[in-house]
């Protein structure tokens, strides 16, 4: 059968001929094009030919080795919804399928109408997610507009987000590595799962294993109850490992073993656990240099570096500053109950000419500071941090010949003129910023003929 364009497709995989027949004939599936097959092997052949919106997998009488169909689907077709049908005797296998990426399981016997209702709900969630992703992509494209470097990074991020591959993000501190990790999470099929962040540099080596994998009650002094680790919190979601270059050698070994096997044991527990989690790691250090210095394992690096995103510093992508400013103003308007809508020309000049050594994180701090201090709907230079103003005033002198030396009075005149322009000829503020009294400033303005009339 050929699927009708625009019609949803579902593949039933079951050894139960009656179940497959009921699905094909049920009025509940009128919005679906129903395909069916008896074995997982036949299903794989079908899936190689075309994608399906959903797969219903009946695991009763299914050989254990054929359960890999779930993992295959999650890797090759992340947008496909997987529903498991199981008897009470297969609950362990059904739970394993959920950990491998299935959406949910239903206990047999179950009728076609119930299955159709579940698929309709999952399909509606897919549509909502698709609309959400399209909206976010438009917003992000606007945010990165004008910066070829960031457009390239964003394009790759959106392309790899639906996969299950591990990602390594590099860049200076504050460039937005966690921000991009969250973008990847929201654009993936794991958007309904948790995004869990761990700062590897902030966790003592003695607590790393407990933090990541959890512990059993009584496993060590202070372990008063069972505690799941971050990998379990991030099950069906994304685990973000920030500053992964700070991990100790022993912690690197433990992380590598988990990445290889995707299994772990809580401290003090003999139970081997499995989770379905996507790893996104980040570092502001050059990991290849750390490898050369024998401070980072090469095998761990290659496990993490399946895809690499490098975020350029903000000073190299100043075209993105207006979009980021808009985003941060909106965010902190809501947080502080403010209604800022514009900037004075002087404030705009300060923001445009600052070097941002702290990158995007510093820019957001600056905007939060300004929004909190703003008295009306406009941010002025008075609302910006002192460091921003000082760095803006200390400009390099114009390029001149070594023999073309201006008198100090001329340099002072130009410096005062620039300060007056930036501060809209507010004499009190200008005097304060220049570190002189108001009367001294006024006298120099008269001496240099800088009055505005």
- Asked whether the beta carbons of 13 and 39 are under 8 A apart, the reply is yes
Model pTM?
Answer: 0.62
**pLDDT, position 126:** 77
Residues of the chain with pLDDT under 50: 1-5, 392-400, 402
Q: Distances in Å between the alpha carbon of 408 and those of 119, 217, 437?
A: 79, 74, 20
How far, in Å, CA of 19 to CA of 89, rounded? Answer: 18
Q: What is the CATH number of domain 315-393?
A: 1.10.8.60
Question: Where along the chain do the CATH 1.10.8.60 domains lie?
Answer: 315-393
Locate 438 and state its tokens.
């108001």
CATH architecture of structural domain 144-312: 3-Layer(aba) Sandwich (3.40)
Q: What is the CATH number of domain 408-447?
A: 1.10.10.60
* Whether CATH 3.40.50.2300 fits 8-128: yes
For the chain, counts of helices (H) and of strands (E): 19, 16
Question: Where along the chain do the CATH 1.10.10.60 domains lie?
Answer: 408-447
Question: Where along the chain do the CATH 3.40.50.2300 domains lie?
Answer: 8-128
Residues 282-311 have pLDDT tens digits of: 999 999 999 999 999 999 999 999 999 999
Q: Distances in Å between the alpha carbon of 216 and those of 84, 135, 221, 227?
A: 31, 43, 11, 6
- CB within 8 Å of 363: residues ≥ 6 apart: 314, 321, 324, 325, 328, 356
Element (H, E) at 81: strand 81-86
């Amino acid at each position: 059968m050929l699927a009708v364009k625009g019609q949803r497709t579902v593949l039933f995989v079951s050894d139960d001929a009656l179940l497959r027949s009921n699905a094909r004939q049920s009025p509940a599936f009128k919005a679906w094009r129903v395909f069916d097959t008896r074995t997982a092997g036949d299903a794989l052949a079908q899936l190689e030919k075309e994608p399906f919106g959903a797969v219903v997998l009946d695991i009763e009488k299914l050989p254990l080795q054929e359960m890999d169909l779930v993992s295959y689907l999650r890797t090759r077709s992340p947008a496909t919804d997987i529903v498991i049908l199981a008897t009470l005797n297969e609950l362990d296998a059904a739970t394993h399928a959920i950990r491998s990426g299935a959406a949910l399981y239903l206990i047999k016997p179950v009728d076609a109408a119930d299955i159709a209702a579940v698929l309709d709900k999952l399909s509606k969630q897919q549509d909502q997610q698709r609309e959400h992703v399209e909206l976010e992509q438009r917003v992000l494209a606007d945010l990165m507009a004008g910066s070829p470097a960031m457009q390239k990074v964003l394009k790759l991020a959106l392309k790899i987000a639906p996969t299950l591959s591990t990602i390594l993000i590099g860049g200076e501190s504050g460039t937005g590595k966690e921000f991009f990790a969250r973008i990847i999470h929201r654009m993936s099929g794991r958007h309904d799962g948790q995004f869990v962040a761990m700062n590897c540099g902030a966790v003592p080596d003695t607590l790393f294993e407990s933090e990541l994998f959890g512990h059993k009650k009584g496993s060590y002094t202070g372990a008063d109850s069972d505690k799941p680790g971050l990998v379990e919190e991030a099950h069906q979601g994304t685990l973000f490992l920030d500053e992964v270059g700070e991990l100790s050698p022993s912690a690197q070994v433990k992380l590598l073993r988990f990445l290889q096997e995707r299994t772990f044991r809580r401290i003090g527990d003999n139970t081997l656990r499995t989770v379905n989690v996507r790893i996104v790691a980040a570092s502001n250090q050059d990991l290849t240099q750390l490898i050369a210095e024998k401070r980072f394992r090469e095998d761990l690096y290659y496990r993490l570096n399946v895809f690499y995103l490098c975020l350029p510093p903000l000073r190299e992508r100043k075209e993105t500053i207006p979009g980021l400013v808009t985003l941060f103003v909106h965010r902190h308007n809501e947080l502080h109950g403010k209604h800022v809508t514009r900037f004075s020309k002087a404030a705009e000049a300060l923001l445009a000419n600052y070097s941002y050594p702290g990158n995007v994180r510093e820019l957001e701090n600056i905007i939060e500071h300004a929004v909190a201090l703003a008295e009306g709907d406009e941010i002025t230079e008075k609302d910006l941090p002192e460091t921003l103003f000082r760095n803006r005033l200390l400009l390099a002198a114009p390029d001149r010949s070594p023999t073309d030396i201006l008198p100090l009075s001329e340099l002072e005149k130009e410096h005062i003129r620039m300060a007056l322009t930036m501060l809209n000829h507010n004499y009190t503020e200008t005097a304060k910023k220049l570190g002189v009294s108001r009367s001294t400033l006024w006298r120099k303005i008269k001496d240099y003929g800088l009055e505005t009339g």
